[in-house]
């Protein structure tokens, strides 16, 4: 079973749910936790893994041999991300066309290399981040860390997902939002648990996240964090969309204090264990329907 824990916005408690759910599930299942929030990974702060190995992750980007380039522009025409552009002299001015490469925009698809009729394009590797594999006393753990200044996280997220080891439960801590990084993290999962808060901002971003998840064809449920603040608009929305509310987590100062200390809720507040046990039970029940 592959479970994504996601949210329409940051700061809703997504990592709190992912890490504590992994700990609860590990008492009865083999569990692997993947931290795919590669721009700001922080699961390791709470689960404190022993890192076994780390590897650099690179993506192939085009390299132009100007001696062979004819300036035909086929490379720029095929690139959907404007990562490679052919600049031709204006008007009747003499001069050779020049091809510019923008590595930060390149998705590494290799289309420009295949499209070049002159064979003027080869590929070179560009570092985007690292993937680290480790383990805790209870479950396996893998996380990615995007290189500072890097704009393209999906290739690194996909590499983290490739580290899935066939555990009975794989929990994917996805990036916040609804853009390409989230799609890369959630795609292929059996279920998505969306963590939100009962506020106007929470509802707005939840609606966007639900639309994105449903486009991927993934089953979805909602966890309401800090459930005793705000109003009941989240509940009304979920009822109107026939989306189950999987559990509600109270607005407890002790939870915030444990988070600030880098402690798992279940270790600092054992009385909340039942909340996460019930959450796991409900998700399994949803998948068995």
Token pair listed for 107:
């998705």
Q: Which residue has the higher pLDDT, 71 or 89?
A: 71
List Cα–Cα distances, 277 to 171, 234, 269, in angstroms.
15, 23, 14
Condensed to tens digits (0 to 9), the pLDDT of residues 183-220 reads 999 999 999 999 999 999 999 999 999 999 999 999 99
pLDDT of 93 reads 54
Token pair listed for 128:
């985007």
What's the CA gap between 125 and 142, in Å, rounded?
23
For residues 238-251, give the mean pLDDT: 95
Whole-number percent of the chain with pLDDT over 70: 98
What's the CA gap between 68 and 88, in Å, rounded?
16
Beta-bridge partner residues of 86: 99
At the top level of CATH, which class does the domain 2-49+137-288 belong to? alpha beta
- Provide the mean pLDDT of the chain: 93
Condensed to tens digits (0 to 9), the pLDDT of residues 26-62 reads 999 999 999 999 999 999 999 999 999 999 999 999 9
Domain 59-126 belongs in CATH node 3.30.70.20: yes
The reply to whether 2-49+137-288 and 59-126 are identical in fold is no
Domain spans of the chain, in order of start: 2-49+137-288, 59-126
| 77 φψ region: left (φ > 0), alpha (ψ -120 to 50), beta (else) | alpha
Global pTM reads 0.90
Condensed to tens digits (0 to 9), the pLDDT of residues 76-107 reads 999 999 999 999 877 555 667 889 999 988 98
Condensed to tens digits (0 to 9), the pLDDT of residues 104-139 reads 889 888 999 999 999 999 999 999 999 999 999 999
pLDDT of 107 reads 86
> Considering only CA atoms, which of 197, 191, 236 is closest in space to residue 214?
191
pLDDT of 114 reads 95
């Amino acid at each position: 079973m592959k479970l994504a824990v996601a949210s329409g916005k940051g700061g809703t408690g997504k990592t709190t749910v992912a890490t504590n759910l992994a700990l609860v599930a590990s008492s009865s299942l083999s569990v692997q936790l993947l931290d795919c929030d590669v721009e700001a990974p922080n699961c390791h702060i709470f689960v404190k893994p022993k890192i076994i190995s780390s590897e650099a992750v690179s993506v192939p980007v085009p390299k132009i041999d100007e001696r062979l380039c004819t300036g035909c522009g086929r490379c720029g025409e095929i690139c959907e991300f404007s990562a490679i552009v052919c600049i031709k002299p204006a008007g009747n001015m003499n001069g050779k066309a020049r091809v510019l490469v923008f590595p930060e925009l390149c998705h590494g698809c290799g289309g420009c290399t295949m499209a070049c009729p002159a064979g003027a394009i080869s590929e070179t590797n560009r570092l985007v981040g690292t993937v680290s594999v480790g383990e805790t006393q209870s479950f396996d753990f893998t996380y990615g860390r995007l290189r500072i200044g890097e704009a393209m996280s999906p290739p690194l997220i996909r590499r983290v997902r490739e580290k899935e080891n066939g555990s009975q439960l794989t929990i994917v801590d996805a990036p916040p939002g609804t853009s390409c990084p989230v799609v890369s993290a959630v795609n292929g999962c059996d279920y998505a648990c969306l963590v939100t808060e009962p506020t106007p901002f929470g509802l707005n971003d939840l609606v966007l996240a639900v639309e994105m998840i449903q486009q991927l064809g993934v089953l979805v449920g909602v966890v309401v964090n800090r459930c005793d603040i705000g109003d009941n608009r989240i509940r009304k929305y979920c009822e109107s969309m026939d989306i189950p509310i999987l559990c509600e987590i109270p607005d407890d100062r002790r939870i915030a204090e444990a988070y600030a200390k880098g402690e798992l809720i279940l270790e600092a507040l054992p009385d909340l264990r039942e909340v996460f046990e019930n959450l796991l039970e409900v998700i399994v029940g949803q998948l068995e329907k």
